[in-house]
Protein backbone atom coordinates (compact mmCIF):
# COMPACT_ATOMS: atom_id res chain seq x y z
CA UNK A 1 0.00 0.00 0.00
CA UNK A 2 1.30 3.37 -0.97
CA UNK A 3 2.39 5.53 1.89
CA UNK A 4 0.59 8.81 1.23
CA UNK A 5 2.65 10.62 3.78
CA UNK A 6 5.85 9.93 1.83
CA UNK A 7 4.19 10.98 -1.42
CA UNK A 8 3.24 14.38 -0.02
CA UNK A 9 6.74 14.86 1.32
CA UNK A 10 8.29 14.20 -2.12
CA UNK A 11 5.86 16.63 -3.78
CA UNK A 12 6.63 19.31 -1.23
CA UNK A 13 10.36 18.74 -1.64
CA UNK A 14 10.18 19.06 -5.43
CA UNK A 15 8.08 22.23 -5.16
CA UNK A 16 10.68 23.82 -2.92
CA UNK A 17 13.49 22.89 -5.34
CA UNK A 18 11.58 24.32 -8.31
CA UNK A 19 10.87 27.54 -6.43
CA UNK A 20 14.54 27.89 -5.47
CA UNK A 21 15.60 27.31 -9.11
CA UNK A 22 13.18 29.92 -10.40
CA UNK A 23 14.35 32.46 -7.85
CA UNK A 24 18.01 31.89 -8.80
CA UNK A 25 17.22 32.12 -12.55
CA UNK A 26 15.27 35.33 -12.18
CA UNK A 27 18.03 36.79 -10.03
CA UNK A 28 20.80 35.99 -12.54
CA UNK A 29 18.83 36.56 -15.77
CA UNK A 30 19.44 39.86 -17.70
CA UNK A 31 16.80 42.56 -17.82
CA UNK A 32 14.33 42.27 -20.65
CA UNK A 33 14.57 46.01 -21.64
CA UNK A 34 17.40 48.18 -23.08
CA UNK A 35 19.30 50.82 -21.19
CA UNK A 36 19.62 54.43 -22.40
CA UNK A 37 23.31 53.89 -23.24
CA UNK A 38 22.47 50.90 -25.42
CA UNK A 39 19.80 52.89 -27.24
CA UNK A 40 22.19 55.81 -27.86
CA UNK A 41 24.95 53.51 -29.12
CA UNK A 42 22.50 51.80 -31.49
CA UNK A 43 21.28 55.13 -32.84
CA UNK A 44 24.87 56.33 -33.31
CA UNK A 45 25.83 53.23 -35.29
CA UNK A 46 22.69 53.54 -37.42
CA UNK A 47 23.47 57.22 -38.14
CA UNK A 48 27.07 56.41 -39.16
CA UNK A 49 25.92 53.63 -41.50
CA UNK A 50 23.22 55.86 -42.99
CA UNK A 51 25.66 58.72 -43.64
CA UNK A 52 28.15 56.34 -45.25
CA UNK A 53 25.48 54.90 -47.51
CA UNK A 54 24.19 58.34 -48.54
CA UNK A 55 27.75 59.55 -49.23
CA UNK A 56 28.52 56.50 -51.35
CA UNK A 57 25.25 56.87 -53.26
CA UNK A 58 25.83 60.60 -53.88
CA UNK A 59 29.40 59.99 -55.06
CA UNK A 60 28.22 57.28 -57.45
CA UNK A 61 25.52 59.56 -58.87
CA UNK A 62 28.00 62.42 -59.35
CA UNK A 63 30.48 60.14 -61.09
CA UNK A 64 27.75 58.85 -63.38
CA UNK A 65 26.61 62.41 -64.17
CA UNK A 66 30.21 63.47 -64.90
CA UNK A 67 30.68 60.55 -67.30
CA UNK A 68 27.48 61.42 -69.16
CA UNK A 69 28.44 65.09 -69.36
CA UNK A 70 31.90 64.28 -70.69
CA UNK A 71 30.40 61.97 -73.29
CA UNK A 72 27.95 64.65 -74.38
CA UNK A 73 30.77 67.19 -74.52
CA UNK A 74 32.86 64.91 -76.75
CA UNK A 75 29.88 64.25 -79.03
CA UNK A 76 29.08 67.94 -79.37
CA UNK A 77 32.68 69.02 -79.99
CA UNK A 78 33.20 66.29 -82.56
CA UNK A 79 30.05 67.29 -84.42
CA UNK A 80 30.94 71.00 -84.37
CA UNK A 81 34.47 70.45 -85.66
CA UNK A 82 33.27 68.16 -88.45
CA UNK A 83 30.49 70.59 -89.39
CA UNK A 84 32.78 73.62 -89.65
CA UNK A 85 35.48 71.65 -91.48
CA UNK A 86 32.93 70.62 -94.09
CA UNK A 87 32.19 74.23 -95.08
CA UNK A 88 35.59 75.84 -94.48
CA UNK A 89 37.34 73.30 -96.72
CA UNK A 90 34.89 73.74 -99.62
CA UNK A 91 35.14 77.54 -99.97
CA UNK A 92 35.82 79.34 -103.22
CA UNK A 93 37.60 82.63 -103.85
CA UNK A 94 35.42 85.71 -103.48
CA UNK A 95 36.67 87.74 -106.43
CA UNK A 96 33.83 90.26 -106.22
CA UNK A 97 34.33 90.80 -102.45
CA UNK A 98 30.57 90.74 -101.85
CA UNK A 99 30.84 88.26 -98.96
CA UNK A 100 34.30 88.60 -97.44
CA UNK A 101 34.53 92.33 -98.32
CA UNK A 102 38.18 91.67 -99.26
CA UNK A 103 39.00 91.45 -102.95
CA UNK A 104 40.15 88.02 -104.20
CA UNK A 105 40.06 86.47 -100.74
CA UNK A 106 38.68 83.19 -99.42
CA UNK A 107 37.88 84.28 -95.88
CA UNK A 108 36.91 87.57 -94.24
CA UNK A 109 40.22 88.19 -92.42
CA UNK A 110 43.51 86.86 -91.11
CA UNK A 111 43.38 87.95 -87.46
CA UNK A 112 42.05 86.16 -84.41
CA UNK A 113 38.29 86.60 -84.52
CA UNK A 114 35.15 84.81 -83.36
CA UNK A 115 33.40 85.79 -86.59
CA UNK A 116 34.27 84.69 -90.13
CA UNK A 117 32.62 85.07 -93.58
CA UNK A 118 33.28 82.91 -96.66
CA UNK A 119 31.73 81.62 -99.88
CA UNK A 120 30.70 78.08 -98.95
CA UNK A 121 29.03 75.40 -101.00
CA UNK A 122 25.35 74.91 -100.18
CA UNK A 123 24.43 71.27 -100.79
CA UNK A 124 20.71 72.15 -100.89
CA UNK A 125 20.93 75.03 -103.34
CA UNK A 126 23.82 73.31 -105.16
CA UNK A 127 25.59 76.64 -105.40
CA UNK A 128 28.11 78.79 -103.54
CA UNK A 129 26.49 81.11 -101.02
CA UNK A 130 27.87 83.63 -98.55
CA UNK A 131 28.10 82.05 -95.11
CA UNK A 132 29.06 83.17 -91.64
CA UNK A 133 30.33 81.33 -88.56
CA UNK A 134 30.32 83.11 -85.23
CA UNK A 135 30.05 82.83 -81.46
CA UNK A 136 26.97 84.37 -79.88
CA UNK A 137 25.43 83.84 -76.42
CA UNK A 138 27.71 80.87 -75.65
CA UNK A 139 26.68 79.09 -78.85
CA UNK A 140 28.34 78.59 -82.23
CA UNK A 141 26.01 79.68 -85.02
CA UNK A 142 26.03 79.57 -88.81
CA UNK A 143 24.26 81.97 -91.15
CA UNK A 144 23.49 80.97 -94.73
CA UNK A 145 22.64 83.85 -97.05
CA UNK A 146 20.51 83.62 -100.18
CA UNK A 147 23.29 84.69 -102.53
CA UNK A 148 27.00 85.49 -102.71
CA UNK A 149 26.41 88.69 -100.72
CA UNK A 150 25.44 89.33 -97.10
CA UNK A 151 21.69 89.62 -97.69
CA UNK A 152 18.66 87.68 -96.45
CA UNK A 153 20.47 85.30 -94.15
CA UNK A 154 19.02 82.51 -92.01
CA UNK A 155 20.92 81.80 -88.80
CA UNK A 156 20.81 78.59 -86.79
CA UNK A 157 22.65 77.08 -83.82
CA UNK A 158 25.33 74.45 -84.33
CA UNK A 159 25.79 73.67 -80.66
CA UNK A 160 22.93 72.62 -78.39
CA UNK A 161 21.88 73.92 -74.97
CA UNK A 162 23.70 71.02 -73.25
CA UNK A 163 27.09 72.71 -73.80
CA UNK A 164 28.46 76.20 -73.32
CA UNK A 165 31.09 77.65 -75.65
CA UNK A 166 33.36 80.00 -73.70
CA UNK A 167 35.56 81.02 -76.63
CA UNK A 168 35.81 80.57 -80.40
CA UNK A 169 38.71 81.88 -82.46
CA UNK A 170 39.46 81.73 -86.20
CA UNK A 171 42.92 82.50 -87.59
CA UNK A 172 43.39 82.63 -91.36
CA UNK A 173 46.76 82.08 -93.09
CA UNK A 174 47.81 81.83 -96.74
CA UNK A 175 44.81 83.76 -98.03
CA UNK A 176 46.71 86.33 -100.10
CA UNK A 177 46.30 85.83 -103.82
CA UNK A 178 50.00 86.47 -104.44
CA UNK A 179 51.46 83.91 -102.02
CA UNK A 180 52.25 80.26 -102.66
CA UNK A 181 50.57 78.97 -99.52
CA UNK A 182 47.29 77.10 -99.55
CA UNK A 183 44.66 78.99 -97.51
CA UNK A 184 43.74 77.44 -94.18
CA UNK A 185 41.83 78.36 -91.05
CA UNK A 186 43.01 77.45 -87.57
CA UNK A 187 40.10 76.96 -85.15
CA UNK A 188 40.32 77.15 -81.37
CA UNK A 189 37.32 76.20 -79.22
CA UNK A 190 36.86 76.36 -75.46
CA UNK A 191 33.75 74.37 -74.57
CA UNK A 192 32.25 73.08 -71.32
CA UNK A 193 29.15 71.31 -70.11
CA UNK A 194 26.17 73.56 -69.46
CA UNK A 195 25.11 71.46 -66.49
CA UNK A 196 26.28 72.41 -62.98
CA UNK A 197 25.59 69.02 -61.38
CA UNK A 198 29.25 68.07 -61.08
CA UNK A 199 32.30 69.86 -59.76
CA UNK A 200 34.61 70.46 -61.56
CA UNK A 201 32.48 71.06 -64.65
CA UNK A 202 33.70 68.98 -67.65
CA UNK A 203 35.59 71.16 -70.11
CA UNK A 204 37.41 70.60 -73.39
CA UNK A 205 39.90 72.70 -75.38
CA UNK A 206 40.15 72.04 -79.12
CA UNK A 207 42.59 73.28 -81.73
CA UNK A 208 42.26 72.14 -85.32
CA UNK A 209 43.00 73.39 -88.83
CA UNK A 210 40.81 73.30 -91.94
CA UNK A 211 42.74 73.58 -95.19
CA UNK A 212 40.97 74.66 -98.37
CA UNK A 213 40.33 71.66 -100.56
CA UNK A 214 40.55 73.39 -103.93
CA UNK A 215 44.04 74.39 -105.05
CA UNK A 216 44.42 78.15 -104.60
CA UNK A 217 47.95 79.15 -105.54
CA UNK A 218 49.18 81.33 -108.44
Domain annotation covers residue 188:
yes
Query: pLDDT tens for residues 2-41?
Result: 455 554 455 545 555 455 544 554 555 555 566 877 778 7
In the 3-class helix/strand/coil scheme, how is the chain assigned residue by residue? CCCHHHHHHHHHHHHHHHHHHHHHHHHHCCCCCCCHHHHHHHHHHHHHHHHHHHHHHHHHHHHHHHHHHHHHHHHHHHHHHHHHHHHHCCCECECCCCCCCCCCECECCCCCECEEEEEEEECCCCEEEEEEEEEECCEEEEEECCCCCCCCCEEEECCCCCEEEEEEEEEEECCCCCCCCCCEEEEEEEEEECCCCCCCCCEEEEEEEEECCCCCCC
Percentage with pLDDT > 70 across the chain:
83
Average pLDDT over residues 184-192: 95
Domain annotation covers residue 10:
no
Higher pLDDT residue, 23 or 152?
Answer: 152
- pTM of the predicted protein model: 0.72
Domain annotation covers residue 34:
no
Domain annotation covers residue 176:
yes
pLDDT averaged over every residue in the chain? 83
Domain annotation covers residue 51:
no
Domain range for 114 is: 64-211
Domain annotation covers residue 111:
yes
Domain annotation covers residue 31:
no
Query: pLDDT tens for residues 159-186?
Result: 999 999 999 999 999 887 777 788 999 9
Domain annotation covers residue 49:
no
Count of structural domains within the chain:
1
Amino acid sequence: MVNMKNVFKNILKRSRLNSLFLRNYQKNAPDAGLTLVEVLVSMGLFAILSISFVTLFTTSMNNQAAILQKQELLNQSGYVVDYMHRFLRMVTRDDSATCTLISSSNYSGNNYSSDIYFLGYDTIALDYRCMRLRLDNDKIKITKFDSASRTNGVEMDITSSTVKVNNLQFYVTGDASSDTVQPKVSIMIDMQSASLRTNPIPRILIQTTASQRNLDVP
